[in-house]
Amino acid sequence: MTRLKDCRQYTWEEFDALPLDKSNELLQGEYKERDGIYHTLNAEQFDRQTLDRIYVLTNIIRSISKTKNGATFLMNRLRHKRAMLYFAQASTRTYLSFKTAADILGIRCTDVRDTSTSSEIKGESFSDTIRTFSSYFDFIVMRHKEESYAEQAAWALNCSDRPVPVLNAGSGKDQHPTQALLDIYTLRRSFEKNGGIEGKTILMAGDLNRGRTARSLSKLLALFPGIKIIFSAPHGFGMRDDVLSYLRDHGVEYSVSDTFLEHVSDADAIYMTRVQDEHDQSDGTSSKRSYEEFSLKEEHLKLLKKDCAIMHPLPRRDELDPNIDKDPRAKYWRQERNGMWTRAALLAITGDIEGQIQEYWRDLSRQASHTGIIQVEKDDKNWKPMERTLTLDHHLS
């Protein structure tokens, strides 16, 4: 059996050179064998079954949270746990959604958002900083500009005597796995009455070269058969080869284009992204290209399919016209809120309370079928009885 502490057999350099499936296996250790999730570091660590499981739990948590009793039950689950929100890069949504997700489960949070206030400024090494967090906290949620730091943190903790789970909230230009989880959840809900994600065409537009959300999302989309991806970016800002070769290896159909508008009518979902100019070199890379053409405007809405899902990880700039917000196809504000629910489900699985939540849900549903007192949903705000039954069946089977 692989164990967390097996990481001790490797130096960081040796570990970093391992193939990703091997390093992922070592990082999850014994949690892998018992179907748990320990660290959340990259999109590649998720399989389809795990995604489905996270989303079933997401729906249950959303539903339970609607009542005072349910919200209190959830809040008592992880009251004895603490989380460090270590955000060494700017964040609004990811930070707030992790914070509120933790609140839902009763986890108490502290943050470091300004590294000039941490001892890194005194020359402390990154791994010492992370070990220090693990002395006080049970989860470390981290965003960092360095691409491999989340993995390095997880490796260093596995090698220590007090490992705690690390959740990658964005690693440089590379990955944003929890954003991809909420993006897939949003797509799943958007296509619920329309055959699911399978077989759909997803158009991704913008600075795909440096946009970590599009990179992680592409890898998760590879888990859905029949998916087609169109990558639309200004010349020089296209999706990088490592993701394209991952898609080829997983049999995903994709095309690459340096135009945008001509593709919008083919798309079942359009995933807009902004210019990532915080990653510019001193040469002002971004200003060398015009992004004007890679913008979705109100006047383009007539070109879109009638059920097209318009998405954006946010924050937006000019690439997504605010006049689109009122169109029913605009899903980005829901997408933002879905971040809280999916992250709550992920924290619940990581904190090993999935079973308790399912049990509570089963009890509730038994009572509901006897008394009929629990409200059933009708639309996005309210649960449908059918979905509830399916959710339960799925869990009980």
Positions in the binding site for ligand NCD (CB under 6 A):
93-94, 170, 176, 179, 212-213, 273-274, 313-315
* Residue 92 or 287 having the CB closest to ligand NCD: 92
Q: How far apart are CA 267 and CA 328, in angstroms?
A: 16
Distance of closest approach, residue 51 Cβ to ligand NCD, in angstroms: 19
Rounded to the nearest whole angstrom, what is the least distance from the CB of residue 136 to ligand NCD in the complex? 25
Distance from C-alpha of 27 to C-alpha of 311, rounded to nearest angstrom: 32
Nearer to ligand NCD, 56 or 166 (CB): 166
Q: Are 137 and 83 in contact (CB under 8 A)?
A: yes
Q: Where are the alpha helices (DSSP H) in 261-353?
A: 332-350
Q: Is 122 a catalytic residue?
A: yes
- Our answer to whether residue 176 is catalytic in this structure is yes
**Identified catalytic residue from 143, 210, 263, 316:** 143
Selected catalytic residue, list 68, 122, 162, 235: 122
Q: Is residue 86 within 8 Å of residue 133, measured between CB atoms?
A: yes
Q: What is the largest CA-CA distance in the chain?
A: 68
Least Cβ distance, residue 338 to ligand NCD (angstroms)? 11
Residue 168: CB minimum distance to ligand NCD, A: 11
Of the candidates 284, 300, 301, the residue with the CA atom closest to the CA atom of residue 292:
300
Q: Cβ 122 to ligand NCD, closest distance in Å? A: 28
CB nearer ligand NCD, residue 165 or residue 170: 170
Which residue lies nearer to ligand NCD by CB, 144 or 274? 274
Q: Catalytic annotation on 143?
A: yes
- Given the residues 66, 93, 108, 289, select the one marked as catalytic: 93
Q: Which residues of 195-210 are buried (b: 16+ CB within 10 A; e: fewer)?
A: eebeebbbbbbbbbbb
The Cα–Cα gap between 90 and 155 comes to: 24
C-beta of 180: minimal distance to ligand NCD in Å?
10
Length of the chain equals 397
Based on CB atoms, which residue is closest to ligand NCD, 91 or 132?
Answer: 91
Residues of 264-295 as b/e, b for ≥16 C-beta within 10 angstroms? Answer: beebbbbbbbbbbeebeeeeebbeebebeebb
Exactly one of 39, 62, 173, 176 is catalytic; which is it? 176
329 is catalytic: no
CA distance 94 to 88: 12
Q: Active-site residue 53, yes or no?
A: no
Nearer to ligand NCD, 216 or 358 (CB): 216
Q: Would you please indicate which residues are annotated as catalytic (active-site) residues?
A: 93-94, 122, 143, 176
